[in-house]
With several copies, the nearest count.
Chain A
Amino acid sequence: MAINIVIFGSLTDITGSTLQLENIADTNALVSELNNRYPVLVNSKFMIAVNKKMIDTNTPLNNNDTIALLPPFSGG
């Protein structure tokens, strides 16, 4: 199972702007995996959107879902 991750703002300095990961069951597992790969992420504040909807509880992931990592917005 492939999930596509798009990354924005300050987080791109850590992870680059896209990632593809396999075998991630849900958003909690995703965060663990990301923290494993990029230990400094632990200090970063960000929200997660699954298919452009912001989520705030653990959410199961499906094949070809698009996940976005969104640090605090700073438009305007």
Chain B
Amino acid sequence: MERKPKNIFVQGAIEAVFIADSIQKHSSKTNIGGHSIFLGQVRADKIDEKEVVAIEYTAYEEMALEKMHVIREEIFAKYNLTCMHVHHSLGKVSAGEICLFVFTSSAHRKAAMEACNELVERIKAELPIWGKELFADESHQWKINQ
């Protein structure tokens, strides 16, 4: 099955109610036995006495969506999944808010769990997205992924 590139980007934080809706939609797919979800949340890290109040995300959107499409196809080829959904914030996301939502479903739990873990690693390593950590005094520092 050929899949079209999907937009993964959301302006601002990802709301809990959006996640609930996404879960609810899967109740009609009665071949699913397990869902695996990863949520990235913005941490109020302290750096030299200053606290991160928000992260502002930017992306090379076109390239990120093309790359995400490739990753999606590879994950679908590798794991026996029923569905896969990825949402990433752009713009400002405050500490405590959700900036990444990865959601995989499969008949048996193992595929969903392994695919979810691999997706998160690949999203962080391969998508041209950058986080700018904003401090209360309006200074900033660029986020570094470990």
In the complex, are there CB atoms of A and B closer than 8 Å?
A: yes
Q: Contacts A8-B130, A10-B130, A52-B66 given; indicate if A72 touches B60 (C-beta within 8 A).
A: no
Number of interface residues of B (CB under 8 A): 26
Q: Is A6 on the interface with B (CB-CB < 8 A)?
A: yes
CB A43 to nearest CB in B, in angstroms, measures 14
Contact A75 B100 (CB under 8 A): yes
Residue of A nearest to B67 (CB): A52
Chain B residues within an 8 Å CB radius of A8: 58-60, 128, 130
CB B132 to nearest CB in A, in angstroms, measures 8
Q: Is B88 on the interface with A (CB-CB < 8 A)?
A: yes
Q: Contacts A9-B142, A52-B66 given; indicate if A75 touches B59 (C-beta within 8 A).
A: yes
Contact residues of A between 32 and 72, Cβ < 8 Å to B:
49, 52, 68, 70-72
Besides A8-B60, A68-B128, A74-B142, 19 other A-B contacts (C-beta < 8 A)? A8-B58, A9-B58, A9-B132, A13-B142, A52-B62, A68-B60, A70-B60, A73-B125, A74-B131, A74-B143, A75-B57, A75-B59, A75-B88, A75-B129, A76-B40, A76-B99, A76-B120, A76-B129, A76-B145
Give 11 A-B contacts (CB < 8 Å), ordered by A residue.
A8-B59, A13-B142, A52-B60, A52-B62, A52-B63, A70-B60, A75-B123, A75-B124, A76-B40, A76-B99, A76-B124
User: Chain B interface (Cβ within 8 Å of chain A)?
Assistant: 40, 57-60, 62-63, 66, 88, 99-100, 120, 123-132, 142-145
* 9 tightest A-B CB contacts, nearest first: A75-B129, A9-B130, A10-B142, A74-B143, A76-B124, A52-B63, A74-B145, A74-B131, A76-B100
